[in-house]
């Protein structure tokens, strides 16, 4: 119902229950941008990227960078990523989603990835954390995708049940993207 109609009716306003991503973590020295789909429930509750204790993101990326990211406080993790030329963001800006599964994302609005990339020209590689992020992100990038090294990673989520060592072997390609 349009806002004016709601204001004129006796129906209560329906709050926007869409889940929203976090601000991008990037700076002028970011060379590799890692994109997820949309933060899960635990991450949203803690206002932190990859906050679910079973999500292997911080372990995987820590092994790639040679830093124990998991043991660091959250703000230090982000600062360490930036110091290594790594940025974070999500493909989906906001959406309706029951639970944390990407398959439940509905009515999404995508982030302005081309706009972000234009503002940070040092970014040369884009890694997608999971299949949904890759599928949606490549569409959002459109004709810009060929201008970047694109890396599709297995999801760090516990819902993606590939064994950790198999995920790690694929995540090691990020070392080349940072070289």
pLDDT at 107: 78
Mean pLDDT of all residues belonging to the chain: 87
- Name the percent of the chain lying above pLDDT 90: 64
pLDDT(4) > 50:
no
Provide the pLDDT for residue 158.
Answer: 80
The model's pTM: 0.86
Residue 55 annotated to the active site: yes
Q: Compare 156 and 42 and report the one with higher pLDDT.
A: 156
- Using the predicted structure, report yes or no on whether residue 15 has a pLDDT greater than 70: no
Contacts with 117 (C-beta within 8 Å, 6 or more apart), sequence order: 33, 123, 144, 148
CATH class given for the domain over 18-178: alpha beta
User: Of residues 55, 104, 107, 129, which has the active-site annotation?
Assistant: 55
Per-residue pLDDT averaged across 22-34, rounded? 97
Burial code (b: 16+ CB inside 10 Å, e: under 16) for 49-62 equals bbbbeebbbbbbbb
pLDDT of residue 72: 98
> Which is more confident, 175 or 3?
175
**pLDDT per position as a tens digit, 122-141:** 999 999 999 989 999 999 99
Work out the percent of the chain whose per-residue pLDDT is above 70. Answer: 86
Q: What is the mean pLDDT of residues 171-175?
A: 96
Taking the C-alpha atoms of residue 79 and residue 83, their distance in angstroms, rounded to an integer, is 6
What's the pLDDT tens digit per position in 62-76? 999 999 999 999 999
């Amino acid at each position: 119902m349009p806002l004016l109609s709601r204001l004129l009716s006796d129906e209560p306003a329906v709050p926007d229950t869409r889940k929203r991503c976090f601000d991008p973590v990037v700076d002028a020295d970011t060379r590799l941008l890692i994109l997820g789909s949309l933060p899960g429930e635990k991450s949203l509750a803690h206002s932190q990227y990859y906050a679910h204790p079973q999500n292997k993101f911080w372990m995987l990326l820590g092994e790639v960078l040679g830093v124990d990211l998991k043991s660091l406080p959250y703000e230090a993790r982000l600062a360490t990523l930036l110091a290594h030329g790594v940025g974070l963001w999500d493909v989906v800006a906001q959406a309706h989603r029951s639970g944390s599964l990407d398959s439940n994302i509905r009515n999404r609005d995508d982030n302005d990835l081309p706009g972000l990339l234009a503002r940070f020209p040092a970014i040369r590689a884009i890694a997608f954390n999971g299949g949904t992020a890759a599928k949606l992100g490549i569409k959002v990038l459109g004709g810009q995708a060929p201008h970047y090294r694109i890396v599709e990673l297995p999801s760090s989520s516990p819902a993606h049940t590939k064994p950790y060592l198999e995920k790690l072997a694929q995540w090691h390609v990020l070392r080349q993207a940072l070289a």
